[in-house]
Amino acid sequence: VLLLQLITLGGSAQMLTTSGTKGNILTTNLAGALAVMVAIYTAGGVSGAHLNPAFSLAMCLLGQLPWWKFPIFVVVQTSGAFISAGAVYALYSDAIWHYSNGTLTVSGPRETASIFATYPAAYLSLSNGFLDQVMGTAVLIVGIQAILDAQNKGIPKGLEPVAVALLVFSIEVSMGSNCGCPMNPARDFGPRLFTYVAGWGAEVFRWVKGGEGFGGDSI
């Protein structure tokens, strides 16, 4: 999760702090998708690359992961996301403070909170935001299961992470405009908690509309 978020949040930070001159929404989405690939190659042989509490929950429901492991996975996933947010902040601290004119805000023309977490578009209602996340996460889980299903057309051995990265990218570019396509509670809550303690304040936990959701998704 730490590697996943280092690349994902780093792509968001590079785009936002340079006002789009060294990145755009496409490069940010690509960074998020490739981050999934790197993370799966790194952790796939150890834990099966459980990078997302929603995925871990689905595996528990399908009987492929013991329930007693679920809370442990969630804590570790969220902790990894929190630590990676701190690492990205350290890496881009000068850029963040320069871009924000010395004020850490969640909304407005110089907001920087969306580097770390996703925020709803100005038009989005709470119910539509809920549907957005349920639908996007469902496509992710079903897609992963299809890729790993031995009865389907087989993915060449060793290329499964590439297929999952392409799945993530397809979701990003088709379902990302409403709220940034997080699809991962740990990916969103861990960095959001970091921004709360790092100086952005309690506003990071409110339904703040108008953010661009630059945080990007992760599996």
Alpha-carbon distance of 45 to 26, in angstroms, equals: 30
Domains in the chain: boundaries: 1-205
Q: Closest by alpha carbon to 2, among 70, 84, 106? A: 84
Alpha-carbon distance of 128 to 124, in angstroms, equals: 6
pLDDT of amino acid 174: 95
Mean pLDDT within 53-66: 92
Alpha-carbon distance of 118 to 180, in angstroms, equals: 5
Q: Lowest mean pLDDT: which of 17-31, 66-80, 145-159?
A: 145-159
pLDDT higher than threshold 80 for residue 210: no
In the three-class reduction of DSSP (H, G, I as helix; E, B as strand; rest coil), residue 69 is classed as helix
pLDDT of amino acid 48: 79
Quickly state the pLDDT bin for 212 (edges 50, 70, 90): very low
Do the beta carbons of residue 181 and residue 129 sit within 8 Å? no
Q: Would the pTM count as exceeding 0.85?
A: yes
Alpha-carbon distance of 92 to 74, in angstroms, equals: 27
pLDDT higher than threshold 70 for residue 47: yes
Quickly state the pLDDT bin for 219 (edges 50, 70, 90): low
pLDDT higher than threshold 80 for residue 216: no
* The pair of three-digit structure tokens given for residue 197, joined into one six-digit string: 């303690």
pLDDT of amino acid 196: 97
- Buried b / exposed e along 139-175 (16+ C-beta atoms within 10 A): bbbebbeebeeeeeeebeeeebbbbbbebbbebbeeb
- What CATH number does the domain located at 1-205 have? 1.20.1080.10
- Outline where 48-125 has alpha helix (H): 53-61, 70-99
pLDDT of amino acid 25: 93
What are the tens digits of pLDDT across the range 95-125? 999 999 999 999 888 999 999 999 999 899 9
* The pair of three-digit structure tokens given for residue 54, joined into one six-digit string: 């929603």
Sign of CA dihedral 190, 194, 195, 196: positive
